[in-house]
Amino acid sequence: MLHQAKSCIWVLFFTLHLSACNGSMGSRHKPSNLRIPLPEKNFTQYIEKTKNLIEKATKGKLEPQWVEARLPFEFKPDKNKCGNSQPYKKGVLLIHGLTDSPFMLRDIGNEFKKDCYWVRSILLPGHGTIPGDLLNIKYSKWIEATDAGIESFVTIVDELYIVGFSTGASLTIHHVLRKNEPRNIKGLILISPGIKEKTPLGFVAGWIATLGKYLPRAAWLDVLPDKDKVKYESFPANAGAQFHYLTKDMRGLTDSKNPIKMPIFIAISSNDATVDSLVTKDFFCNYTQNPNNFMIWYTGDVNIKEKKTICTGGTIKTKQISNKASGILNYSHLSLTVSPANHYYGRNGEYKNCLAYTAKINELKQCEQEINVNSKVKYGEKNDENEGHPVRRLTFNPDFKNMMKEISFFCLLYTSPSPRDGLLSRMPSSA
């Protein structure tokens, strides 16, 4: 207990020091006091309401293309390719992660559209506007939005899948457990799921958030420029605290003696620096149970140590993705949902995640240079395993196409056929 107390005191001291030195604060670090609307059946109206609110919250300072990127989106099946009898039979709901926006799941949404699914994404409260809107948010509001998104969609499609990324996966599991695995949901696709945070001191974030009410600068774990146009880079302690409370609540609903029977697909990097990948594997192996459950376990150039365990939850496919020719050490938490061809986060995309070097001009310039087999900087996860390497955080998934083939096959086991289904097959385990 004494050691834990000392650790907490150190974390609080470090946070106060960091918040005093890192970045400048402005109006974007204060709540806008504007409420993101809840998803509704009239999705066009929901998108329009959300757009108006984002424009108001950002006071016209955000270019229209970036407002559009942050918005919820909807893709309906192409009737020419998918037929007219029941074009909207199959539905997919996409739920983004903490500090993110629906843009993080747009590439996945486009792939589902090709497979004749009706696709919708939602925007969680506190997101899409300004970072300050996460200062006072409660995870109950995320649950409310998730419930509304699912319940407004499940009544107008026959078969619904939910794709949850990170916190979106936590909310998805939480919903399924609370609602006792509703039969109208066919399966869950969980990408880098937030079962438990990586840091063992997640609960300290709540203390820091409380302290921030009296010392506004202390409310922030990171205060950074808005270089990323589609998500927040400044990070309030309250956001971390609410994630901790949500996942703790979610784990309290799980039961190894009564595992989730609903089909589950998981993809995660073993080197994930945001969530605990080993806890995710334990969840898959011991708290889910379906013969068609499937997990992709991405490993890299430097792998974590883990004990050999018996997994009764489903099939785990290990894929080593280290590719020195492309300068890739391993996969990051936020890379799996994005195609290499993505115009913003992709291999040749506009945005480069060099947040670890924002205070060091020379290292920042080096990080932003082109990455190839000869470059000193590599793609990867910014974690202890990559210590000694200058690392640009990987923002795309080189295995995206194969991952989507696995997801398509997983869905085929439970959904009615579509015209493109004959083109799909599970890749060999060595792929």
**Three-state helix/strand/coil letters over 281-321:** HHHHHHCECCCCCEEEEEECCCCCCCCCCCCCCCEEEEEEC
pLDDT of residue 105: 98
Residue with tokens 């398509």: 408
What are the CB-based long-range contacts (under 8 Å, 24+) for 210-218? Answer: 211/12, 211/16, 212/135, 212/236, 212/237, 212/238, 215/16, 216/25, 216/29, 217/19, 217/20, 217/25, 218/15, 218/16, 218/19
Closest to 77 measured CA to CA, from 108, 118, 120: 118
**Per the domain annotation, does 101 fall within a domain?**
yes
Total count of domains within the chain:
1
Residue with tokens 């947040």: 355
Burial code of 391-401, b = ≥16 C-beta within 10 A, e = fewer?
bbbbbbbbbbe
User: Quick one: CA torsion of 148, 149, 151, 153, rounded to 10 degrees?
Assistant: 150
pLDDT of residue 87: 55
**Per the domain annotation, does 340 fall within a domain?**
no
* CA-to-CA separations, 237 to 335, 360, 429, in angstroms, rounded: 23, 24, 41
Express each pLDDT in 199-212 by its tens digit: 766 667 666 666 66
CATH number, position 167: 3.40.50.1820
Give the helix ranges, DSSP H, for 155-231.
167-178, 204-211
Q: How far apart are CA 236 and CA 5, in angstroms?
A: 22
* Dihedral sign for Cα atoms in the order 332, 335, 337, 340: negative
The pTM of this model reads: 0.89
Which parts of 174-218 are beta strand (E)? 185-191
Give percent of the chain with pLDDT exceeding 70: 81
**Per the domain annotation, does 115 fall within a domain?**
yes
Q: What is the DSSP letter of 174?
A: H
Given a contact cutoff of 8 angstroms between Cβ atoms, the answer to whether 314 and 259 are in contact is: no
**Per the domain annotation, does 345 fall within a domain?**
no
* CA-to-CA separations, 166 to 95, 171, 239, 268, 275, in angstroms, rounded: 9, 9, 13, 10, 8
Question: Tens digit of pLDDT per residue, the chain (431 long)?
Answer: 434 443 443 344 444 444 444 455 678 899 999 999 999 999 999 999 999 999 999 998 999 999 999 999 999 988 888 876 565 689 999 999 999 999 999 999 999 999 999 999 999 999 999 999 999 999 999 999 999 999 999 989 999 999 999 999 999 999 999 999 988 899 999 999 999 998 766 667 666 666 666 676 778 888 888 899 999 999 999 999 999 999 999 999 999 899 999 999 999 999 999 999 999 999 999 999 999 999 999 988 655 666 667 788 899 999 987 666 678 888 999 999 999 999 999 999 999 999 888 878 888 888 998 887 788 888 999 776 666 678 999 999 999 999 999 999 999 887 655 444 444 444 333 33
Which domain, by its residues, includes 415?
A: 2-325+399-423
**Per the domain annotation, does 379 fall within a domain?**
no
* Dihedral sign for Cα atoms in the order 350, 353, 359, 364: negative
* CA-to-CA separations, 424 to 146, 299, 405, in angstroms, rounded: 30, 25, 7
Q: How far apart are CA 137 and CA 143, in angstroms?
A: 12
Residue 267, phi then psi, degrees to nearest 5: -130, 130
User: What's the start-to-end Cα distance of the chain, in Å?
Assistant: 47
pLDDT of residue 360: 81
Provide the 10 A C-beta neighbour count for residue 428.
Answer: 6
* CA-to-CA separations, 20 to 170, 236, 355, in angstroms, rounded: 32, 14, 17
pLDDT of residue 374: 81
Q: How far apart are CA 38 and CA 95, in angstroms?
A: 13
**Per the domain annotation, does 370 fall within a domain?**
no
pLDDT of residue 129: 97
Q: Residues 6 or more apart from 383 whose CB is under 8 A from it? A: 271, 273
